[in-house]
């Protein structure tokens, strides 16, 4: 479709942290730094790991917990170093079909919510079944990248 795509993601490991009771923007900031420390060596092997994209954030409607995640690089998928911060964990996300809407610019929580609502509306209009109680935000760029930025919102297909 011209305004979204359906992707098939394979099972993969992500390193994640849940930030509770903060605004989405503050949760993203806190979560990013916890995960950044992990890839900088705050793990059982004191190993530096390459930064990957996207950085995702799980947004559940009516909930103030936000799960922020980094994709574990392919070379560490089989055996990622365990975090030493008790708030950080490695999780395996099962294979899934995901509806994706992409957009540019600097993404605020409000912009992500607006794009998620537009995607949800399109999916409903097309009769596409999806999990409506949550979505993921996905950011692909460093805050220092000013142009041609890439952001996404994801809904999981039912």
Kindly report, residue by residue over 124-134, the tens digit of the pLDDT: 999 999 999 99
pTM of the model: 0.96
Kindly report, residue by residue over 62-74, the tens digit of the pLDDT: 999 999 999 999 9
CA 158 to CA 64: how far, in whole Å?
Answer: 24
- pLDDT higher than 90, residue 143: no
The pLDDT, as a whole number, for residue 100 is 98
- pLDDT higher than 80, residue 1: no
Kindly report, residue by residue over 14-24, the tens digit of the pLDDT: 999 999 999 99
| Contacts for 85 with CB less than 8 Å, ≥ 6 apart | 17, 34, 37, 38, 42
What rounded mean pLDDT belongs to the chain? 97
In order of their start, the domains of the chain are 5-156 (3.20.80.10)
């Amino acid at each position: 479709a011209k305004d979204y795509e359906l992707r098939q993601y394979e099972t993969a490991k992500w390193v994640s942290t849940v930030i509770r009771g903060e605004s989405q923007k503050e949760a993203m900031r806190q979560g990013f730094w916890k995960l950044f420390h992990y890839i900088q060596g705050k793990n059982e092997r004191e190993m530096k790991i390459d930064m990957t994209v996207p950085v995702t954030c799980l947004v559940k409607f009516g909930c103030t917990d936000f799960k922020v995640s980094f994709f574990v690089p392919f070379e560490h998928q089989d055996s990622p170093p365990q975090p030493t911060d008790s708030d950080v964990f490695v999780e395996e996300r099962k294979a899934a079909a995901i509806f994706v809407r992409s957009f540019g610019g600097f993404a605020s929580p409000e912009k992500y919510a607006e794009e998620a609502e537009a995607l949800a509306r399109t999916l409903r209009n097309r009769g596409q079944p999806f999990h409506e109680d949550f979505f993921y935000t996905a950011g692909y760029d460093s805050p220092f990248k000013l142009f041609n930025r890439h952001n996404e919102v994801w809904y999981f297909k039912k």
